[in-house]
Amino acid sequence: MQSISNPSFKTLTTADPSHHHRRRCRNYSLRVLSDLRPSLAGGIGNCRSDFRSSCAILSSKVFLSQQQQDSSSSSSDSAGDSSSASSAAAAAAVNGHVSLDLVPVPVPDQSLLPKPLTIADLSPAPMHGSCLRVAYQGVPGAYSEAAAGKAYPNCEAIPCDQFEVAFQAVELWIADRAVLPVENSLGGSIHRNYDLLLRHRLHIVGEVQLPVHHCLLALPGVRKEHLTRVISHPQALAQCELTLTKLGLNVAREAVDDTAGAAEFVAANNLRDTAAIASARAADLYGMQVLADGIQDDSSNVTRFVMLAREPIIPRTDRPFKTSIVFAHDREGTSVLFKVLSAFAFRNISLTKIESRPHRNRPIRLVDDANVGTAKHFEYMFYVDFEASMAEVRAQNALSEIQEFTSFLRVLGSYPMDMTPWAPSRCD
């Protein structure tokens, strides 16, 4: 057997004066070994590593027993104290540990360990209106945030700095829904979002109409005669042009990205010569005072928002539905648009909106006629909203007929109409 080289140990011989003491230790070792036999027979000593572990345990017990006996026999003199210290050092030399723990196992911090997945991590998105993550364009206090709260009560509203970011938030599963404006009763269509509807593959799953109530906001203590400019969204400035003139505010108008962002900008920069047109909620959020309430020129100022999702909803017939489509044609003449309108009129389907937008991929079409020469015509995409559900046979037949003489047809969504009553905005 290979000897262990350790300066703390002495080679044991029969001529050692403490030979009788070593015999007692040997006898104790035999007793410990007899105690370990049942466990060894159970399979612990089947490999070399298990055998070495058992020997280490045996050696630790032998030296601890020697330490206890030496300390009890030599407690009356200083020689016994030095012998006890040397025994303790010898015991500490066994595997480098004082205790019987051969391999120290560190206890990890439970808070730093990764948590296992639960069924909640693998579950689908929540149902309609239940803790949904809804993206909107603007900052807190914007009208889009109010529309998101009306469409999905108790939702988690996620502000986005641009309309396209809201689309991407839904596509990348950062948000479950997006609520974006598409038209206003005074300012007309928001063309940017119509172009994004065609570019992205989201589906319209609902609509919500929100009355717009504009307020003139300024920092606390600022009076109207001290103002030199008014900032807000371009449509908000246009919707309040007459009222601002009546208030005697012949000041500069400056357009920014959104209404609530204008209020935030004035408050963050402490602009005491600038007012913002925004909602009353924006005044509460950013600590501003309302100089004038209800400054929109028309009290029937309503913005229509659409709710977007990754998957379409199943159309129904038990409640009023609206369907939005977009199509294009590459044939000459104006009869194609007439045929499309006739397909709806023949089936008594009412159209609520028709909007044309230039075809981005093919903005111009060349026509070569021998009689009139070469002419250039603009190519258009047509957006149509009609009051019918795709679950109805008449709507299916209308789209089947339209598909025959159009080069492109896509259903943007078939969704419930917003039938909630609303009251006109308060006047000043």
Rounded Cα–Cα distance for residues 386 and 134 (Å) = 26
Q: Cα 393–396–399 angle (5° rounding)? A: 150
| CB of 83 closer than 8 Å to CB of 74 | yes
Rounded Cα–Cα distance for residues 71 and 82 (Å) = 9
Q: 3-state DSSP call for residue 160?
A: strand
Rounded Cα–Cα distance for residues 420 and 150 (Å) = 11
Cβ neighbours of 203 (radius 10 Å): 21
H/E segment holding residue 50: helix 48-73
Q: Cα 398–401–404 angle (5° rounding)? A: 150
Report the catalytic residues: 303, 305
Rounded Cα–Cα distance for residues 283 and 256 (Å) = 17
Q: 3-state DSSP call for residue 321?
A: strand
H/E segment holding residue 78: helix 78-93
